[in-house]
Amino acid sequence: MALLVGGAALGPPFLLLFNFLVKLPIEKIASFHGVLKSIKSTVENLEPFINQLTETNKALDRPHAEIKGFAGTINKGKKLIEKCSKYSKWKHFYKRPRYNNKLRKLDEELKRLLQMLNPQILITGHETLLLSKEIHGILTRGTQFTNDKVSSQNELEGCCYAPQPPAFTVGLNEPLQELKMKLLSANESTMPILVTALPGSGKTTLAIKICKDDEIKEKFKSNILFVTVSKSPNLNLIVQELYQHKGYSVPTIKDSHDAKIKLEQFFNIIGKTPVLLVLDDVWSGSESLIQQNFVFPIPEYKILVTSRFQLPTFGLPYELKPLSDEHAMTIFKHYALMEDGNLDIPDDLVKKVVEQCKKFPLALELIGSSLRGQDQRIWDRELKNWSTDSSILSYESELLSRLQTSLDVLDEKQAILKKCFMDLGSFPEDQRIPATALIDIMKELYGVEEDRAITNLYDLSTRNLANLVITRKDENEVDDYYSEHFITQHDMLRELAIHQSRQVPVEQRERLIVEITGNDLPMWWNEQKEQPFKASLVAISTDESFSSELFDIPLPEAKVLVLNFRKKNYILPKFVKNMSTLKVLLVTNYAFFPAELSDFQLLNSLTNLSRIRLERISIPSLKETHIVLKKLKKLSLFMCKIGDAFSSVKISEVFPNLEEINIDYCDDLKELPAGLCDLIKLKKLSITHCHNLSTLPEEIGKLINLQVLRLRSSIDLEKLPDSICKLYKLTFLDISNCYSLQNLPENIGQLCHLTKLNMNNCSRLAELPSSVLDLEQLKNVVCDEELKELWEFHLHPESNTKIKVAKDRVNLNWLENHQFDT
C-alpha cells in the first residue's frame, strides 16, 4: 500500500512561498503581472487547506512520491518567482517567454494540488475553491445599483450566503444587539428564534446585518447559512443548495424522507463547529417543515427565522418594533432629498406620509424616491389621497395601498417604465430575473430597443422599485452584453405588480399571471369560456407537485409566454400550438438539475415566434422534433444541457433567419456544432462560461455577416480557427478568460472592421502576430499588464488604439441557484 502523508510534507515549503507572495508587490512586476496574480490567488486558496492538513496531520490518499513532488515544486516555484521579481524588461527581454511558460506550469501544478485537496477537506469561509476565476455555475462579484450610488459587493455571496445589506439603514442597531446576545450565548437550546414583523418592515435586512456582523462571523465562520424559504418552499432544492454551498457533491433526492436524511447527514458533518442557520420569509403553514427537518440536537447550532406571521406554537418569539417618528423621518428624507441636499416636497405631505408609513420602511423608501422632484400638481393630488383614513385596511392591504403611490407618480412619459415594473410579476417570488428576458419582453411588446430597455431597468432600480444586480462589472469593459445582469425585487413589490394586474376581469387583463400550487388550477380555468383572453403577456408558474394538464384557453393576442416550473420533466401546454401571435417564449426551470422538455414540436405552429430563451433545460433533438421556425431571430440558452440537440440536422433550415445566438454556462458544450456555421444571417454569436468548450469548427469563417463574437471564459479553448480571419464584418471579439489560448491566428489583421477586442486574462498568449498592425479600425483593447506591454511593442506610436488594463473583479460571490452537475 502506498504510504499516506499529509501536511507535514507540504507545510514548511508552502509557508515560505505563501509569506513571500504576501509581501511581493505584484502590481510593480508588469511583465508577469497576470500570471503572478493567478499564482497568488491559487496560493491564497491553498493556504487554509495546507494549514488544516498541518494542524491535524491529516493523511492524503496519495502516494508519498506525488506529495513529495509537490513539495519540490513549491520550493522551485519560490526560487522562480524570486528571479522574476528581479526581472528587467530592458536587460532580460529575451528571457520573458521562458519565464512566462515556467510560471504558467507552476500555476497549473498548484491548481492540480488544489484540485486534489478539494474532496478531502471541508471547504470553509473564503476558502471556497477558485480553480478558475469564473467556474461553472458561479457568477462573479455582484454590483447592486441603488438610488444612492453603485455599491460593490466585496464579500462572498451565494445560494446560501447572506446577500449584501442596503447601504443605508436606520433603527436596527438595538434589535441587532439583542438578537446577537441570544445567538452568541452558550445556551444549548436549538429552539428557533422567530423574528416577526409586518411585511416591508426590515426583517430580512436585520437578518442580513446579523450575518454580516463581525462577532457573529467570528463565532460561526463559514457555517453561516442563509436560506430564503418563501411562500411555497421546496425542501429538495434547499437541501441541494446547502450541499452545493459547502462544496459537497449535490445529491439527487427521491422524496421528502430522503431529503430529511440528507439534511441530517449534512448538519452532522458541518455541526462539528458552530452553525447559524437563517430561514428567511417563512410563511404560516411551514412550521412543521422547519421543526421536522431543520431542528437537530447539535451543540452550538442556532436557528434564526423571519416571518410576517405570528406563529404562536413555533420558536422563541422576537417582535421587531415599528420605527420611531425620528427614524421614519430620517429614512424618508434620505430618499426624498434632491441632489443639492434640499427637500422640495411640501411639509404637510411629508408629515402625512411619515405618520402613516412609519410601520413600513419599504414604503418610506419608495415614496420618498417617487415624490422627489415632482411638480405641484402631483403633490396636491397625493396630499388629498394621503388624507384619506386607511385604518380599516389590513396591514398588507395598507402597505400595497401606500406602495401604489410610487406607481401613481409615473406620468404618461414613463408609461413604459410602469409596464416594465408590472412585467416583473411574471417571474416567481424570491428568484432573480434575467435582464435579457426583460429586454426580450420590452422589445416585442413595446418596441423598446436594447439600450433603452437596459436604461429602464436602471431607472427602476433608481426609483427603488427593483434592484439591479450585475454579476460581472469592469470599468474598462467595452461590451454591452447583459447575460450577467439580473433584477431582484422585494416580495411586496412583486405582490403590488400582480395586484395591479388583477384589477380588471381575467378576460380583459393585459397580463395573465397564473400561479399554480399542486394541481389547484384557478376556478376560471376550469370553466368553459368562449370569450377569448386579451392578454398580451401570459405567465404560468407551477411547482414540483404539478401533474395536471393545462386545458386549452384562447389567447389570440398573446405575444409573450413565460413558463416557470420546478420539475425533472415538463410538458409544454397544449394551448401553445394555438398562440399564432406569440413572439417571445421564456421557459425557466427553477429546479437544481436540467429538465427534460416534451412536446417541443408544438412550436412548429408558432409562425411569428421571434425570440426563445431556455434556462436549465435539456434541449430536445431538433432532428426528432422536426421544427422549423422561419421568423426566429434570437435563441438564448442559459445553463442548459445541449447534448445532441444540433446533431444530424441542417440547422440553417430549422432557423433560416436566426441573427443572434447566446449560449451561457452550458457545461456539456465541448465542440461548437459545425452546422451553426451555415446560419449565414447570424450577426451575434456569444458563448460565455462554457468551460469545456475546446474546439471551434473551421467552418466558422462561413458566418460572413457576423459582427460580434464572444468566447468569454472558454477556459479549455486552445486555438482559434484560421478561418476566423474571414469574418470581415466582425467589429467586436471577446476572448477574455480563455486561459488555454496560446496564440492568435497569424492573419488576424484581416479583420478589417474590428474595433473592440477584449483579451483580458489570456495568460498563455506570449506573443502577438505581426498582422495586428493591420487592424486599422481597432479602437479599444482590454487586456492585462503583460499583454499591454506586447501591444505597445507592436503598435505605432501614433496609433489610435487605446490599450486598457482590466481591473480584475472576478470572484466567487453572488450565487443564486446557478450551479448544477451534468
Cα–Cα distance, 714 to 168 (Å, whole number): 39
Cα–Cα distance, 77 to 59 (Å, whole number): 24
pLDDT at 122 over 80: no
CA distances from 133 to 39, 500, 632, 726, 821 (A): 12, 43, 34, 31, 19
Give the pLDDT confidence score for residue 155 in this predicted structure. 35
Model pLDDT for residues 729-775, shown as the tens digit of each residue: 999 999 998 988 888 999 999 999 999 999 988 878 888 998 998 99
Give the pLDDT confidence score for residue 12 in this predicted structure. 61
Least trusted range by pLDDT, from 371-385, 609-623, 639-653? 371-385
pLDDT at 619 over 60: yes
Model pLDDT for residues 657-694, shown as the tens digit of each residue: 999 999 999 989 999 999 999 999 999 999 999 988 99
Q: What is the mean pLDDT of residues 778-807?
A: 85
Model pLDDT for residues 499-551, shown as the tens digit of each residue: 888 888 888 899 999 988 888 888 888 775 677 899 999 999 998 888 877 77
Give the pLDDT confidence score for residue 126 in this predicted structure. 28
User: Are the CB atoms for 604 and 582 separated by under 8 Å?
Assistant: no
Element (H, E) at 635: strand 634-638
Chain centroid, CA 220 distance in Å: 25
Q: What is the mean pLDDT of residues 104-117?
A: 71
Helices within 284-375 (DSSP H only) = 287-294, 325-336, 347-357, 361-371
The number of helix segments (H) and strand segments (E) in the chain equals: 23, 28
pLDDT at 820 over 80: no
Q: What is the mean pLDDT of residues 82-99?
A: 62
Q: 567 pLDDT band (50/70/90 cuts)?
A: confident
Secondary structure (3-state) at 760:
coil
DSSP secondary structure code for residue 594 in this structure: P
Give the pLDDT confidence score for residue 131 in this predicted structure. 32
User: Are the CB atoms for 701 and 676 separated by under 8 Å?
Assistant: no
Q: 141 pLDDT band (50/70/90 cuts)?
A: very low
What is the rounded (10 degree) CA torsion for 12, 18, 23, 29? Answer: 120
Cα–Cα distance, 816 to 161 (Å, whole number): 9
DSSP secondary structure code for residue 792 in this structure: H
User: Are the CB atoms for 548 and 517 separated by under 8 Å?
Assistant: no
Highest mean pLDDT among 8-22, 459-473, 605-619: 605-619
Highest mean pLDDT among 364-368, 467-471, 662-666: 662-666
pLDDT at 211 over 50: yes
Task: State what percent of residues in the chain have pLDDT above 90.
Answer: 30
pLDDT at 457 over 80: yes
Q: What are phi and psi of 306, to 5 degrees?
A: -115, 145
The 10 Å CB-count burial string (b at 16+, else e) for 629-665 is beebbbbbbbbbbbbebbeebebbebbbebbbbbbbb
Query: Could you tell me the end-to-end alpha-carbon distance of the chain, in angstroms, rounded to an integer?
Result: 34
Least trusted range by pLDDT, from 144-153, 231-240, 258-267, 446-455? 144-153
pLDDT at 57 over 50: no
Give the pLDDT confidence score for residue 540 in this predicted structure. 93
CA angle 565, 568, 574 (to 5 degrees): 60
Angle between helices 287-294 and 256-270 in degrees, nearest 10: 50
Compare 92 and 445 and report the one with higher pLDDT.
445
pLDDT at 136 over 70: no
**DSSP of 523-577:** HHHHS---SPP--SEEEEEE-TT--S-------TT--EEEEEE--SEEE--GGGG
Q: What is the mean pLDDT of residues 346-359?
A: 73
pLDDT at 121 over 70: no
Cα–Cα distance, 473 to 451 (Å, whole number): 17
Nearest Cα neighbor of 736 from 31, 110, 133 is 133
Q: 355 pLDDT band (50/70/90 cuts)?
A: confident
Mean pLDDT of all residues in the chain? Answer: 79
Compare 318 and 412 and report the one with higher pLDDT.
318
pLDDT at 224 over 80: yes
Look-up of cell digits 435579457? 436
Cell of 685: 454569436
Give the pLDDT confidence score for residue 385 in this predicted structure. 60
User: Are the CB atoms for 670 and 643 separated by under 8 Å?
Assistant: no
| pTM score, whole prediction | 0.73
**DSSP of 15-57:** HHHHHHHHH--GGG-GGGHHHHHHHHHHHHHHHHHHHHHHHHT
Model pLDDT for residues 627-637, shown as the tens digit of each residue: 999 999 999 99
